[in-house]
């Protein structure tokens, strides 16, 4: 994506670098194990300065979204949706990102399952931007269906 480059600082550079590698990572407190975003030097729960970067599942649930009808930044053609996702790692870890589909996608609803996707951003150091795409549906079962038991039951309660 051209025209956009994130403002990086000492705390957030590992975040942007991970996105450039197509990885979603969060800081996690070494004392109380709380996941946190945005990146910062101190845990907002216990006050510890001990922390590390850990990989995320990259999966979560849509809790809100908004459709922007004005292009605020170069490289973001309006309209586009910004999605807020509750991460599977921790209920209060909510992360915004662009939606990797059309803003009127009928799958974009509260409670929809999404997975992280990434856009590359040119610059030095390399960076990435987070996008959310709908989580793929599970593969349908293959093979023959079970035959009903006498009386129309699929299984026995015995």
What domains does the chain contain, in order, with CATH numbers?
13-134 (2.40.50.840)
Per-residue model confidence as pLDDT tens digits over 10-59: 998 999 899 999 999 999 999 999 999 999 999 999 999 999 999 999 99
Euclidean distance between CA atoms 20 and 1, whole angstroms: 12
Name the burial class of residue 157, with classes exposed (0-12), middle (13-18) and buried (19+) by CB atoms within 10 angstroms of its CB. exposed
| Residues 57-92 pLDDT 10s | 999 999 999 999 998 877 778 999 999 999 999 999
CB-CB contact of 30 with 50 (8 Å): yes
- Going by C-alpha positions, the residue among 134, 144, 129 that lies closest to residue 106 is 134
Tokens of 102: 């059309």
Q: 110: helix, coil or strand? A: coil
């Amino acid at each position: 994506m051209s025209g956009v480059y994130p403002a990086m600082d000492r705390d957030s550079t590992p975040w942007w670098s991970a996105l450039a590698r197509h990885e979603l990572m969060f800081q996690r407190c070494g004392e109380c194990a709380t996941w946190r975003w945005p990146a910062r030097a101190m845990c907002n729960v216990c006050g510890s300065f001990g922390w590390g970067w850990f990989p995320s599942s990259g999966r979560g649930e849509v809790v809100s979204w908004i459709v922007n009808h004005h292009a605020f930044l170069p490289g973001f053609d309006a309209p586009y949706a910004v999605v807020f996702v509750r991460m599977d790692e921790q209920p209060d870890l909510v992360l915004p990102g662009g939606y990797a589909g059309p803003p009127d996608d009928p799958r974009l609803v509260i409670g929809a399952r999404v997975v992280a996707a990434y856009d590359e951003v040119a610059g030095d150091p390399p960076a990435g931007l987070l996008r959310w795409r709908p989580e793929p549906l599970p593969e349908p079962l293959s093979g023959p269906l079970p035959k009903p038991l006498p009386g129309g039951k699929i299984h026995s309660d015995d």
